[in-house]
């Protein structure tokens, strides 16, 4: 379970939609293990295949208070509440830069588990925000695109300043 190199924004792969997993296999499980170790080392609470250049629809989440990490293959938002909530978001591909993003407050996510079983999960609060954030990444939508133009420009300036260091 090696820690993989994380792509840094604005790498073009972070704006590229990921391919479906289909039926998870040994390679998918190995990728999930690598993603977990990479996310913990970053550190972060969520990571996707595209974050490490593996262009497959795999998400790993490990939120504070979770009994164990969760792996989602081919996740999609099946339902989103009309109510919204704001949470501070960032990315392992843009460490140190965060901003508030408004998203649906609750979602139902359809996905395939590592065992190949089709599943659904209903989530609210921070978990809902994290799932939507990572599914966006699988669709090639980096979190900055969810900000207003002004806030996005400010975040990019902070990132460029941090990289010059």
Active-site choice (89, 121, 134, 153):
134
End-to-end CA distance of the chain: 31
The number of beta carbons lying within 10 Å of the beta carbon of residue 120 is: 10
Phi first, then psi, for residue 49 (nearest 5°) are: -55, -50
Distances 19 to 45, 46, 48, 125 between C-alpha atoms, Å: 22, 19, 12, 28
State yes or no: is 134 an active-site residue. yes
Active-site residue list: 134
């Amino acid at each position: 379970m090696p820690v993989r190199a994380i792509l840094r924004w604005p790498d073009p792969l972070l704006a590229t939609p990921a391919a479906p997993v289909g039926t998870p296999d040994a390679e998918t499980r190995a990728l999930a293990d690598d993603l977990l170790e990479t996310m913990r080392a970053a550190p972060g609470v969520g990571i996707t295949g595209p974050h490490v250049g593996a262009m497959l629809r795999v998400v790993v989440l490990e939120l504070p208070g979770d009994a164990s990490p969760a792996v989602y293959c081919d996740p999609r938002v099946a339902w989103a509440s009309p109510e919204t909530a704001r949470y501070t978001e960032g990315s392992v591909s843009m460490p140190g830069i965060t901003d508030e993003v408004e998203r649906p407050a609750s979602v139902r996510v359809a996905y395939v588990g590592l065992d190949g079983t089709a599943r659904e999960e209903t989530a609210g609060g921070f978990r809902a925000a994290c799932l939507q954030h990572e599914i966006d990444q699988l669709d090639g939508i980096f979190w900055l695109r969810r900000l207003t133009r002004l806030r996005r420009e400010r975040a990019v300036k902070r990132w460029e300043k941090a990289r010059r260091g």
